[in-house]
């Protein structure tokens, strides 16, 4: 019953990423006043005051409240059980408000605690407190107990009422707590509303399901509960230190699956279980069933991997032990239980009355949330990742991280591209440096002729030795008076911050060379846009490397930039901060020489066609 088993269960739930399919709610501890809805005032007050240091001064109370043998006093006792009770009560309240269909609290299920005494490692009966909360909104509540021990504390609390039916499948005989006989059926108005199914040692999966399913089915048909509380004690598994049943993980989880299929508001609680390596695996597997997730039987890496050696498997198999429950015995017990249930065919009614108003604890003060955090913790806890999500939990704008052995999602993604995108104003579209350099075999430059769109093998590629520090000035072609004025507005910017814009007097090249200077939008990647030519092998490699990165932004081939009438002064600083640019801007004297040689071959018609293409673009 140590909290370490809850820690191991939580770690497996995180490792299997089941938390993405459910909301997480951090319940507040139950107050003393809330506990006294069932427990006596003096018992709760004693539980709050006693500690291991002052226990010697409470000798009379220790004997009176059964704080002996299996219920010792330990540090943090009241805090632990107030958290357990508060979680179960909050789960019931969420079911009442319709905020959840199924609530899970593996730290609950302490079914032995009585009104005025502790029993069987149980000090506060969170199950009774949760059922009392459910009764505020629901007429009838069904309690199902599959722990190896009889749920005597819950049965005793509702032994005389017909609004709660208790059903327990347990070991009966010389076994703790010694109650739960077939003839214990309730008293007064609660007669026949207490169902006990006594079992013998070594019952296996097949035998257990042969009695569990028909009994629960008849209860659902005749009692017609409005809500269900399911106690999933794992000491009924094979190999438990205190249990004597022989259930496998699949047999135990089949009970959870069967109850879930009735589609009623269900509160799922923990309970007993003293072989913690089995407890954590079964509860994690049953969490997967409740959220509808298939789980790999091979355990993922987690903080407690050594506990699951040597098989490192999620499965908890049954043992080869004798089943003392004969078919005749089980059939006789089943018939007797169903015969008692037939007396409850007429569903009990409840007098109509006003339902007390609930306090909605799910409303968060927006002013108290951190404005710098993209998704605050209360919002993140309640977020459920859709099944159709194609990528990880970063659907919330977050990335996974492991801290202190626990996988959390509380880091926002802030890479360089995101920061630069936030700096762009006036609704301008963000583009990286590689997006301005278009691969020749994917898309030709804007305004280029058909010959410029040829693949890299047929394009004029500038050798790396010809790359200089500054962009070469370009001269307007002869007879191209109108084009000269338009191209004077195109600016070439050096990568260094303090470089001044180079004069934009680019000479249009011949047909076989790349197009003349492509207009570039103000504030974009202007280095390498002075004279867009067929890219060098190094630049091409950088472009393809960038395209393979998993950055959620439009592909480079789909980005179109348009020049402003005049480049703003801040263009220089933005160009200097552009990531992954070569340290030097290519200077293309070789292409300028080629242009001079072929200048005489250019005709007036070619110039007019090229000018028309640039204007169209």
**pLDDT tens profile 58-88:** 999 999 999 987 899 999 999 999 999 999 9
Q: Give me the count of residues in the chain.
A: 617
Residue 442 pLDDT exceeds 50: no
Is there a contact between 513 and 462 (Cβ–Cβ < 8 Å)?
no
DSSP 593: H
How far is CA 29 from each of CA 3, 116, 354, rounded to the nearest angstrom?
16, 20, 27
The residue among 90 and 589 whose pLDDT is bigger is 90
Cα-Cα-Cα-Cα dihedral of 548, 549, 554, 559, to 10°? Answer: -70
User: What distance lies between CA 374 and its chain's CA centroid?
Assistant: 16
Distance CA 218, CA 197 (A): 14
pLDDT value at residue 388: 67
Residue 481 pLDDT exceeds 70: no
User: What distance lies between CA 398 and its chain's CA centroid?
Assistant: 11
Query: 188-197, 251-260, 453-462, 526-535: lowest mean pLDDT where?
Result: 526-535
Which of 112, 18, 103, 42 lies closest to 71, judged by CA?
112
Distance CA 99, CA 289 (A): 20
Is there a contact between 129 and 38 (Cβ–Cβ < 8 Å)?
yes
Mean pLDDT, rounded, of the chain: 74
Q: HSE of 457 in the Cβ direction (CA atoms, 13 Å)?
A: 0
Is there a contact between 124 and 113 (Cβ–Cβ < 8 Å)?
yes
What's the token pair of residue 140?
């009838």
**pLDDT tens profile 385-437:** 776 666 554 444 444 444 444 444 444 444 444 444 444 444 444 444 444 43
| Torsion-angle region of 560 (φ positive above 0: left; ψ -120 to 50: alpha; else: beta) | beta
| Section 486-493 average pLDDT | 45
The residue among 352 and 197 whose pLDDT is bigger is 197
Write down the domain spans for the chain: 3-342
The residue among 306 and 393 whose pLDDT is bigger is 306
Neighbour tally for 343: CB within 10 Å = 12
Which residue among the candidates 10, 39, 111, 112 is catalytic per the annotation?
Answer: 112
Is there a contact between 126 and 87 (Cβ–Cβ < 8 Å)?
yes
Residue 570 pLDDT exceeds 50: no
Structure confidence at residue 344 as a pLDDT band (50, 70, 90): confident
**What are the phi and psi torsion angles at 259 (to 5°)?**
-70, -35
pLDDT value at residue 70: 85
Which of 226, 219, 300, 290 lies closest to 261, judged by CA?
290
Residue 598 pLDDT exceeds 70: no
Structure confidence at residue 461 as a pLDDT band (50, 70, 90): very low
Structure confidence at residue 350 as a pLDDT band (50, 70, 90): confident
Structure confidence at residue 441 as a pLDDT band (50, 70, 90): very low
pLDDT value at residue 273: 95
Query: 99-113, 134-148, 276-290, 444-458: lowest mean pLDDT where?
Result: 444-458
Which of 59, 31, 29, 56 lies closest to 45, judged by CA?
31
Instruction: List, in sequence order, every residue forming a beta bridge with 227; answer none if it has no partner.
Output: 141
What's the token pair of residue 34?
């809330």
pLDDT value at residue 1: 72
Classify strands 227-231 and 266-269 as parallel, antiparallel or unpaired. Answer: parallel
**pLDDT tens profile 124-181:** 999 999 999 999 999 999 999 999 999 999 999 999 999 999 999 999 988 999 999 9
Tell me the three state secondary structure of residue 444. coil
Is there a contact between 569 and 523 (Cβ–Cβ < 8 Å)?
no
The residue among 149 and 486 whose pLDDT is bigger is 149
Residue 491 pLDDT exceeds 50: no
pLDDT value at residue 608: 56
Helices (H) and strands (E) counted in the chain, each on its own, are 19, 8
Residue 581 pLDDT exceeds 90: no
| Section 464-492 average pLDDT | 45
Cα-Cα-Cα-Cα dihedral of 283, 286, 292, 297, to 10°? Answer: 80
User: Between 249-260 and 276-291, two packed helices, what is the crossing angle to 10 degrees?
Assistant: 30
Residue 42 pLDDT exceeds 80: yes
Percent of the chain with pLDDT over 70: 58
Distance CA 47, CA 124 (A): 9
Distance CA 366, CA 369 (A): 5
Q: Which residues contact 564 (CB under 8 A, 6 or more apart)?
A: 521, 522
pLDDT value at residue 399: 47
Classify strands 398-403 and 406-412 as parallel, antiparallel or unpaired. Answer: antiparallel
Tell me the three state secondary structure of residue 402. strand
CATH class for the domain made up of 3-342: alpha beta
What's the token pair of residue 258?
């069967």
pLDDT value at residue 295: 94
Residue 334 pLDDT exceeds 90: yes
Residue 468 pLDDT exceeds 90: no
Distance CA 387, CA 174 (A): 49
| Torsion-angle region of 178 (φ positive above 0: left; ψ -120 to 50: alpha; else: beta) | left
Cα-Cα-Cα-Cα dihedral of 415, 419, 420, 426, to 10°? Answer: 140
Residue 280 pLDDT exceeds 50: yes
Distance CA 39, CA 270 (A): 20
Catalytic site residue 252?
Answer: no
Structure confidence at residue 12 as a pLDDT band (50, 70, 90): very high
pLDDT value at residue 370: 67
Distance CA 485, CA 482 (A): 6
Residue 240 pLDDT exceeds 90: yes
Residue 312 pLDDT exceeds 90: yes
Instruction: List, in sequence order, every residue forming a beta bridge with 247; answer none if it has no partner.
Output: 237
Which of 580, 582, 584, 589 lies closest to 463, judged by CA?
589
Distance CA 617, CA 611 (A): 10
Tell me the three state secondary structure of residue 117. coil
pLDDT value at residue 497: 41
| Section 285-296 average pLDDT | 95
Distance CA 289, CA 253 (A): 8
Distance CA 421, CA 432 (A): 10
Question: Which run of H or of E encompasses 575?
Answer: helix 571-576
């Amino acid at each position: 019953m140590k909290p370490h088993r809850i820690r191991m269960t939580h770690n497996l739930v995180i490792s299997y990423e089941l938390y993405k399919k459910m909301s997480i709610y951090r319940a507040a501890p139950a107050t003393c006043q809330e506990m006294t809805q069932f427990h006596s005032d003096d018992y709760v007050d004693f539980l709050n005051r006693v500690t291991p240091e002052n226990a010697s001064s409470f000798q009379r109370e220790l004997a009176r409240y059964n704080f002996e043998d299996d219920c010792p006093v330990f540090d943090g006792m009241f805090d632990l059980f107030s958290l357990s009770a508060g979680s179960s009560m909050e789960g019931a309240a969420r079911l009442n408000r319709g905020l959840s269909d199924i609530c899970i609290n593996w730290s609950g299920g302490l079914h032995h605690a009585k009104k005025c005494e502790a029993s069987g490692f149980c000090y506060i009966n969170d199950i009774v407190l949760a059922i009392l909360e459910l009764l505020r909104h629901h007429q009838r509540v069904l309690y199902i107990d599959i722990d190896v021990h009889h749920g005597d504390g819950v049965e005793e609390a509702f032994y005389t009422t017909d609004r709660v039916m208790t059903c327990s499948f347990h070991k009966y005989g010389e076994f703790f707590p010694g109650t739960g006989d077939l003839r214990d059926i309730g008293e007064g108005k609660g007669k026949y509303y207490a169902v006990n199914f006594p079992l013998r040692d070594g019952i296996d999966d097949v035998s257990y399901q042969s009695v569990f399913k028909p009994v629960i089915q008849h209860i659902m048909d005749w009692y017609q509960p409005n809500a269900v509380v399911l106690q999933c004690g794992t000491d009924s598994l094979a190999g438990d230190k205190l249990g004597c049943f022989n259930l496998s993980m699949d047999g135990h989880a089949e009970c959870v699956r069967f109850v879930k299929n009735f589609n009623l508001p269900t509160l799922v609680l923990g309970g007993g279980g003293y072989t913690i390596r089995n407890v954590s695996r079964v509860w994690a597997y049953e969490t997967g069933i409740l959220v509808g997730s298939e789980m790999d039987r091979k355990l993922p890496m987690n903080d407690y991997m050594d506990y699951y050696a040597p098989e490192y498997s999620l499965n908890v198999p049954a043992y080869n032990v004798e089943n003392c429950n004969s078919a005749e015995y089980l059939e006789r017990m089943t018939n007797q239980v169903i015969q008692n249930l037939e007396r409850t065919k007429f569903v009990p009614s409840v007098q109509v009355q006003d339902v007390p108003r609930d306090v909605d604890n799910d409303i968060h003060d927006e002013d108290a949330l951190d404005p710098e955090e993209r998704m605050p913790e209360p919002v993140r806890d309640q977020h459920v990742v859709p099944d159709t999500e194609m990528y990880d939990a970063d659907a919330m704008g977050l990335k996974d991280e492991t801290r202190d052995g626990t996988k959390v999602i509380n880091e926002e993604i802030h890479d360089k591209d995101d920061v630069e995108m936030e700096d762009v104003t006036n609704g301008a579209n963000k583009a990286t440096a590689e997006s301005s350099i278009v691969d020749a075999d994917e898309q030709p430059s804007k305004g280029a002729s058909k010959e410029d769109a040829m693949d890299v093998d047929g394009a004029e590629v500038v050798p790396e030795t010809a790359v200089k520090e500054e962009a070469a000035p370009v001269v307007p072609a002869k007879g191209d008076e109108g084009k000269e004025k338009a191209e004077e507005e195109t600016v070439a910017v050096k990568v260094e911050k303090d470089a001044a814009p180079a004069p934009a007097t680019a000479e249009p090249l011949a047909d076989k060379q790349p197009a003349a200077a492509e207009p570039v939008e103000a504030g974009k990647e202007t280095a390498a846009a002075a004279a867009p030519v067929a890219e060098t092998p190094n630049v091409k490699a950088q472009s393809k490397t960038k395209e393979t990165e998993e950055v959620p932004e439009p592909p480079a081939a789909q980005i179109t930039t348009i020049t402003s009438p005049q480049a703003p002064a801040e263009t220089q600083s933005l160009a200097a901060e552009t990531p992954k640019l070569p340290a030097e801007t290519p200077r293309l004297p070789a292409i300028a020489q080629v242009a001079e040689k072929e200048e005489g071959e250019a005709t007036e018609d070619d110039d007019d066609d090229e000018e028309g293409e640039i204007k169209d673009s």
